[in-house]
Structure 1
Amino acid sequence: MTTILLCADTDVERVSDQVASITTLPLETDEVRIFVYHVFRADGNDLDASNLKSVTYATETLVEAGFDVEVIQSSGDAVQNILDTVVDVEADMISIAGRKRSPTGKALFGSIAQQVTLRSELPVLFCSASE
């Protein structure tokens, strides 16, 4: 079984691109498990990733395509949580989307997608921001 960690933010368009990139891969859907994963910036027991439009879109679309999908979440440092969750769920691949930022913006504010891509030992399916 192949396990994919789809790191979903709150932007439906970016998550839509991620879902499209997965559904176009030559995968046997009954042999793939996908964790749709969201990291909240704030702690709180009342937060539920399943209530986010982006997560709902990803989950519904992937289930309709025939994939086994589970929603998981955490809060805190997104990069470290993603890297830890990859180990926890025994992922084989990470799906992550980038935002449009200038090189200066990336240098000043960093990039979660960039850090995950550089620090992960797994293949990363990177989706850039749509035009």
Structure 2
Amino acid sequence: MYHVVIGVDDDAEHALACVEEVAKLPGEPDEKEVTLVHSFTDNPSGASATQIHSVREAGEFLEDRGIEYDVNESSGDPAEVIIEFADEEDADLIVTAGRKRSPAGKALFGSVTQTVILNSDRPVMVTGSTKRKR
């Protein structure tokens, strides 16, 4: 069994792009354990991560495919939270979504993704397009 940590923001398309790629990884569904990590930077209503639409969508996708998952919620800098959690859990892979950027911006991926790539000692998968084909 291998453990995958997915950083989930508030964008359901990003979350679904990540879980779709995890589902495609080699091995049977019962050989994959996934943790969806959501970090609140502002949460005045006191919501839990499982109330966030993108987290619910990602969880339902995994559940429908028989992939075991759990949800970790935290607060603080999302990149730091993802990296620290992956280190604490000795995760095998971190997955995060890239954002569509201008030609100049493509080199920068986005601040959370870029920070995770540059500061993690673990393999990082960045998913492709955030727009799903219908």
1:104 deviates by 5.2
Q: 1:127 to 1:90 in 2, by over 3 A?
A: same
Partner of 1:52: 52
Partner of 2:78: 78
1:129 deviates by 3.5
Q: Is the partner of 2:33 in helix, strand or coil?
A: strand
Q: Is the 8 A contact 1:43 1:76 kept in 2?
A: no
Whether 1:64 aligns to 2:64 is yes
Q: 1:44 to 1:33 in 2, by over 3 A?
A: farther
Q: Is the partner of 1:30 in helix, strand or coil?
A: helix
Partner of 2:93: 93
1:120 deviates by 1.1
AA at the equivalent of 2:42: A
**How many equivalent residue pairs?**
129
Unmatched tracts of structure 2, length 5 or more: none
Partner of 1:117: 117
Unmatched tracts of structure 1, length 5 or more: none
Structure 1 segments, 4+ long, off by >6 Å, are none
1:105 deviates by 9.0
